[in-house]
């Protein structure tokens, strides 16, 4: 169906982007260290923000396929890293970009050692 020939109501009901949120989370988690390695700090920040949004928006961490091809268990990763990790990565991106106030704000409720240190250091 051609989107240009549809009415506004028909276009609104069409889902243009069909994707699996678990795949997006996995891709973002893989992209963040790669972007950090090559020094693309703004791209890393964007990926961290997207990861945080998807993590906050998801209600279930259960998966039919809990293992990636390289043997990473997604359930363990989600539980161990989860929101705290994506929050830390996002705050670390802010810190690397010298956005210290934003970094400290996002880590205000973080209880992990790294998060607490980074908040105080920021």
Half-sphere exposure of 66 (CA within 13 A, CB side): 10
Predicted confidence at residue 58, as pLDDT, reads 60
Residue 69 has pLDDT above 60, yes or no: no
**pTM of the complete model beyond 0.75:** no
Domain boundaries, the chain: 19-121
Predicted confidence at residue 53, as pLDDT, reads 86
Largest Cα–Cα distance in the chain? 56
User: Which CATH architecture group holds 19-121?
Assistant: Alpha Horseshoe (1.25)
Tokens of 34: 């790669």
Predicted confidence at residue 10, as pLDDT, reads 62
Tokens of 97: 């970009």
């Amino acid at each position: 169906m051609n989107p240009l020939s549809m009415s506004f109501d028909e276009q609104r009901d069409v889902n243009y982007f069909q994707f699996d949120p678990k795949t997006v989370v996995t891709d973002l988690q893989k992209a963040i260290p790669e972007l950090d390695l090559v020094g693309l700090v703004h791209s890393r920040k964007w990926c961290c923000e997207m990861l945080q949004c998807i993590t906050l928006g998801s209600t279930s961490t259960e998966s039919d396929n809990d293992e990636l091809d390289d043997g990473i268990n997604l359930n363990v990763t989600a539980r161990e890293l989860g929101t705290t990790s994506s929050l830390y990565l996002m705050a670390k991106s802010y810190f690397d970009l010298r956005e210290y106030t934003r970094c400290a704000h996002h880590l205000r409720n973080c209880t992990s050692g790294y998060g607490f240190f980074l908040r105080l250091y920021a």
